[in-house]
Every structure is written in C-alpha cells, then in structure tokens.
Amino acid sequence: MPLSMAKSGEPVEVKRVGGKEETRKFLENLGFVVGSIVTVISETGGNLIVNIKESRIAIGRDMANKIMV
C-alpha cells in the first residue's frame, strides 16, 4: 500500500520507491530507501509529516503515493 494510506503512529517498512529516476533519487536522499522504517506523525490537507531516520520530513500526497510500504 502507498505511504499515504498508513495509519498515524504506526511504524511501516519501505518496500519500494516508484516514480521517475529523479523522483526516486530525491526520495532516497531524504532517507526513503528500501528497508527503512517510516512513521506517519500527522496528516493535514493531504500532506504528511513523517518520522524517518530520527528526522521529521513533510511530503505531499503525490510523493507519498510513490512510496510503497
């Protein structure tokens, strides 16, 4: 399922990162690599705040839909 459908506060593991090559590289640089653990902190207006590798990152719904967990 895409990251945008994950429940808040529930840690999930990244299984696959989709999208164009530049999008995948951008997400990998943020820490979204296969096997990493991501926790959704909150969702507002379709945008997600996630906790990954001890950092909080805000991403849009379109980016979250490219991250499969």
Q: Which domains does the chain have, with CATH numbers?
A: 3-68 (2.30.30.90)
* CA dist., res. 57 & res. 50, Å (int): 5
* CA dist., res. 20 & res. 9, Å (int): 29
What pTM, to 2 d.p., does this model score?
0.89
Q: Quick check: 20 and 62 in contact, CB under 8 A?
A: no
| Amino acid letter for position 2 | P
Averaged pLDDT for residues 22-42:
94
Q: Quick check: 27 and 67 in contact, CB under 8 A?
A: yes
pLDDT value at position 66? Answer: 94
- Helix count (H) and strand count (E) of the chain? 2, 6
Averaged pLDDT for residues 25-44:
94
